[in-house]
Amino acid sequence: MSHLSRRDLLRYSGAGLVALAAGSALSACSGTGSGGQVAGGDAATGTVTVWSWTTAAEALRGVVPAFEKENPGIKVDVQDVGNPAIWDKITVGMAAGGQGLADVLHIGCDYLPGYLEKFPGGLADLSALGADQYKDKFAQGLWPVVTGKDGKAYALPWEVNAFGFFYRQDMFEKAGIDPNTFETWDDVLAVGDRFKAANPGISLIGINKPATPSPDLDFLQALMQQQGAFYFDLKGDITLSSPAAVHALTVEKRLNDAGLIADTAGDAVWRTMLRDGKIAAGPLAAWAVHYLETKLPDQKGAWRLTRPPAATAGGKRTAIVNSTHLAVSASSPRRVAAWKFVEYALTRPESANSMFKAGGVFPALTAAHSDPMYTAPNAFYGGQPVLKTFVDLLGAGADATNYSGDFARALKLASDAQTKVFLKGADPAAVLQDAAKQLAQQTGRTLR
Amino acid sequence: MTALAPTAAPARAAAPPARNRRALLRRRALPYLLLAPALITFGVFKAYPIVASLLLSLTTGSGAATRNAGLSNYRRLLDDPLFWTALGNTAKILVVQVPLMLALALLLAVGINSALVRWRAVWRLGVFMPTVTGLVATGVMFAFLLNTEHGAVNSLLGQLGLPAVDWLGDPFWARMAIVLLLTWHYTGYNAVIYLAGLQGIPRELYEAAMVDGAGPLRRFFSITLPALRPVLLFTVVLSTIGTLQLFDEPYVLTRGGPDNATLTVSMYLYDNGFRYFDFGYASAIAYALTLIVSVLGAIQMRLMGERE
C-alpha cells in the first residue's frame, strides 16, 4: 500500500461523512427500523416448547406426564438450553420480534424487567389469561417483579431464594459463639477476633473480591434489601448511592478490614475453600440448603442455619436474593396452551413441591410451604428443620425489589464499586457516588 | 416464397452481429455469474450487517421501541469512562502482546527453518497445534494453570524460588495472563506464515552473502528481514486488528475483571448489546472500533509498506 496523503485522508473522511449522512437519512425513512413483532395466537392445543436450564428443566419435565394426561391435545417439550446461554437465545429472539422463541420461557428476576422494558410486547399478558387470581398466592415481594409498568402480569413466580445465614456449628462452638444471638452485623464484628483466634486460617465468609469470573453481589444486595433499598427505587430512579446502599457497602468494608472475608476469586474456588474447611459461614440464599448437602457430604452434621443478622439495629431480617419465573412469549401461536402448563406447574402445591424435590427449586407458592417436608428435620444440618427457617423468613414479608430494565448495567457498576472497596480500600460513599453518576449518564434515569 | 426471400436475406445478414452480441453479453456476464455466490453471500452476511449496524448506531431502544437518536450514542461514548477504560486496556495489551508474539514467532520460524533442525514436520506441527485448539477449552485450561493457590504456573514459580503471582486477581497480572494466553494461541499461526515467507527467499542471496563474508546476524538483518517485509506487514496488521477486536480470551478467562483491568472494547460492546439490550449503543461502539482499526491499519501500511 502506498502513500496515504493528507488529501487522501480528507477524501476518505469526506466519503465517511457522506455515508453517515446517507445512513441517517435512510434510518429516518425506515422509522422504527426492525420493530416487526410476530403476532402470536391463542391456540389451546399443540406442542408447547419450554426453555429452561439444568436441574430446573429436569424438575419441570417431572410434571409433564401428569399435565399431558389431564390436558389431552397438549404435548410439552421441555428443553435444557443451559444458563447463561438461555439469555442470549431469548435476547436474540426478542430482538427478532419474537421469532424462534419457545412458547414458555424460564426467566430470572435479573433479566425479566429488562425484557419487559426493552422489548415491550415480547411477553404475553398473563393477566388477560387469568393470572391475577394468583396475585396473593406467592411469597410477599414477588408480584411487583412480574408486573409490568401497565400493571399487567407477564410471568408467574416459580423459585424464590430467601437470604439465610449458614454456619459451621463446630467452628463457632470452638470460639464459644452462638450465631443465633447475632442481631446485627455489629455483633458479628464484635466477636470477629475471638472467632479468628479459635479458628486460625479460617475466614468467616468468602466473596469473589475481584469479580472474576462473575460479579458476587448477593450479600451486598441482601444487605440493601433488608433495609428496603436497592439500586433503583420502585419508581425506577437510581438509589445506588443512597445512605442504605452506602451502609451496606460499609458493613462489607468493615468485615473485610477485620480480616473476616476470604477472597474466592476464580472458578470453583469458593467451593474448594468450603470443602477444605477454610470458610465458616455463608450469608447465602435458600438454594444453599440443597447445595451444601450435595457438595459437602463429608461435613454432614457440621452445618446449621439461622436468620441472617439485620443490616441495621432492629431492622428487617428478610431479603429475597433472587427469584425465577415462567413467562409465555407473545409470539407463541398457542398462548392458552402454554399458560395452562405454566398455571399447572406453578400454582398447584403438588407440582411445585415435586419440582422442589427433583431440582431443589424452592417454590414461591406459599401454599406449597405447608407440606410436612418443610418442617422435617434434616440430618445434614444436625437434625435442624432448615426449610422452616426460610418459610418463616418469607412469612415475615420481604420488601419488593425493583430490578428495572437496567439491572445488568447497575449490577456491573455496583460490582466495580465493591471490587474497588475490597482491592483498593476505597471509600464506599465515594465509589457508590461515582457508580450512581455513571448509571445515570448511561441510562438517562433520575439520580436520587 | 419469393416475397419472403428479400426479407429473409437481410435477416440472415443481420444474424451474425446478434449472435455476436449475445456471445459478448454471455462473455461479459459469465464472470459476474461465477462471482455471484460469493457476492451474494458477502452481501447477506457482511454488507447487510455492516449497513444495518450503522443505522442501528443512530437509534436507541430495541424491538418495537426503537427510536431515532441521531448521533447521541456517539456523544454518549465520549463521556463514558468505561469505554475509555476498555480502549486503554486494549491498547496496553496490544503494545505488549503484538511485538512480543511476532518476535517470538519469527525466532521460532528461523529456528525451524534452520538446516540443522531435524524432524521439521514434527516441530511445525507442535508450533501450530495451539492455533487449532478451541478458545473456550484454552481459557478453561489457562484458568486452571493460572489458579493462584493450586495452579501449575505458580507452583513452578515457587520451585524457582519466586513469589506466587495473583494471576487473575491483580489488575496488572490479569492483563499479563491475557497476553500469555494470546501469545500461546497465536504465535504458531504467525510462525507458520513466516516459515512460508522464509522458504520463498532465494538461497543464492545467502550464498552470495556468505562468499562476501557476512555472518549469520548480518545475513538475518540484511537479507531475511528485508525479504520478509511484506509478510511482516501482513502479520502486524492482522495481529493488530485481531487484538483490537479481542473478545474470547478475556471473556473466558477474566470476564473483564478485576476492576475492569481486562475489559476490552469488544467485551464492552457485547455487554451493551447482549446484557444491557442497548443495541444502538453497542453498534456505535462497533463503529468507533472500526474507525480506530482503519486509522491504525492505514498508519501501519504507511510506515511499513513498500517505498515507491
Residues in B closer than 8 angstroms to A33, CB to CB, are 55-56, 59, 66
Give the pLDDT confidence score for residue A17 in this predicted structure. Answer: 36
**Mean per-residue pLDDT, B254-266:** 85
A175-188: per-residue pLDDT in tens? 999 999 999 999 99
Closest Cα of chain B to A210: distance in Å?
4
Residues in A closer than 8 angstroms to B169, CB to CB, are 209-210, 212, 263, 265-266, 423
pLDDT winner (highest mean) among A89-93, B57-61, B117-121 = A89-93
Closest Cα of chain A to B160: distance in Å?
24
- Which comes out higher in pLDDT, residue A41 or A266? A41
To test the contact with chain B by mutation, choose from A1, A119, A269 the residue with the greatest count of B C-beta atoms within 10 A, namely A1
Give the pLDDT confidence score for residue A23 in this predicted structure. Answer: 35
Give the chain B residue whose CA is nearest to the CA of A119: B63
Chain-chain contact of B63 with A24 (C-beta, under 8 angstroms): no
ipTM of the complex: 0.70
> In this complex, which of B55, B63, B306 lies closest to A122 when CB atoms are compared?
B63
B62 — pLDDT class (breaks 50, 70, 90)? low
Closest Cα of chain B to A139: distance in Å?
28
pLDDT winner (highest mean) among A185-199, A392-406, B229-243 = A185-199
To test the contact with chain A by mutation, choose from B53, B62, B295 the residue with the greatest count of A C-beta atoms within 10 A, namely B62
Chain-chain contact of A118 with B62 (C-beta, under 8 angstroms): yes
Residues 6+ apart with CB under 8 A from B204: none
B287 — pLDDT class (breaks 50, 70, 90)? very high
A235 — pLDDT class (breaks 50, 70, 90)? confident
B300 touches chain A (CB under 8 A): no
B198-226: per-residue pLDDT in tens? 888 888 888 898 888 888 888 888 888 88
Residue A332 in this model has a pLDDT that exceeds 80: yes
Give the pLDDT confidence score for residue A323 in this predicted structure. Answer: 93
Chain-chain contact of B257 with A409 (C-beta, under 8 angstroms): no
Residue B7 in this model has a pLDDT that exceeds 60: no
> In this complex, which of B52, B59, B254 lies closest to A213 when CB atoms are compared?
B254
Inter-residue contact A51 to B86 (CB < 8 Å) = no
**Mean per-residue pLDDT, A299-323:** 92
Instruction: Work out the percent of chain B whose per-residue pLDDT is above 90.
Output: 17
Residues in A closer than 8 angstroms to B56, CB to CB, are 33
d(CA A412, CA B257): 11
Residue A360 in this model has a pLDDT that exceeds 70: yes
Among residues 143-202 of chain B, which lie with CB inside 8 Å of chain A? Answer: 143, 147-150, 168-169, 174
**Mean per-residue pLDDT, A386-403:** 90
Q: Which of A2-6, A155-159, A216-220, A356-360 has the lowest mean pLDDT?
A: A2-6
Instruction: Work out the percent of chain A whose per-residue pLDDT is above 90.
Output: 68
Instruction: Please report where in the chains the cell 500461546 appears, as a residue.
Output: B184
Instruction: Work out the percent of chain B whose per-residue pLDDT is above 70.
Output: 91
Give the pLDDT confidence score for residue A25 in this predicted structure. Answer: 34
> In this complex, which of B169, B301, B306 lies closest to A263 when CB atoms are compared?
B169
B307 — pLDDT class (breaks 50, 70, 90)? low
Residue B180 in this model has a pLDDT that exceeds 60: yes
Residue A442 in this model has a pLDDT that exceeds 90: no
**Mean per-residue pLDDT, B262-283:** 89
- A20-50 burial, b if ≥16 CB within 10 A, otherwise e? beebbeebeeeeebbbebbebeebeebebbb
Residues in A closer than 8 angstroms to B68, CB to CB, are 27-28
Give the chain A residue whose CA is nearest to the CA of B54: A23
- pLDDT, chain A, mean: 88
B279 touches chain A (CB under 8 A): yes
To test the contact with chain A by mutation, choose from B275, B279, B307 the residue with the greatest count of A C-beta atoms within 10 A, namely B275
Among residues 69-98 of chain B, which lie with CB inside 8 Å of chain A? Answer: 70, 76, 79-82
Give the pLDDT confidence score for residue A36 in this predicted structure. Answer: 65
d(CA A357, CA A369): 13
Give the pLDDT confidence score for residue A26 in this predicted structure. Answer: 33
Q: Which of A153-157, A344-348, B115-119 has the lowest mean pLDDT?
A: B115-119
Residue A252 in this model has a pLDDT that exceeds 70: yes
Give the pLDDT confidence score for residue A89 in this predicted structure. Answer: 92
Instruction: Work out the percent of chain A whose per-residue pLDDT is above 70.
Output: 92
Give the chain A residue whose CA is nearest to the CA of B64: A35
Q: Which of A29-43, A189-203, B271-285 has the lowest mean pLDDT?
A: A29-43
β B59-60/B67-68 pair status: antiparallel
B21-33: per-residue pLDDT in tens? 788 877 888 888 8
Residue A109 in this model has a pLDDT that exceeds 50: yes
B74-114: per-residue pLDDT in tens? 888 888 889 999 999 999 989 999 999 999 999 988 888 87
Q: Which of A199-203, A274-278, A295-299, B148-152 has the lowest mean pLDDT?
A: B148-152
B9 — pLDDT class (breaks 50, 70, 90)? very low
pTM of the model: 0.78
Name the grid cell of B24.
459478448
**Mean per-residue pLDDT, A169-178:** 94
Residues in A closer than 8 angstroms to B148, CB to CB, are 265-266
Residue A410 in this model has a pLDDT that exceeds 70: yes
Residues in A closer than 8 angstroms to B302, CB to CB, are 1, 3-4
Give the pLDDT confidence score for residue B121 in this predicted structure. Answer: 82
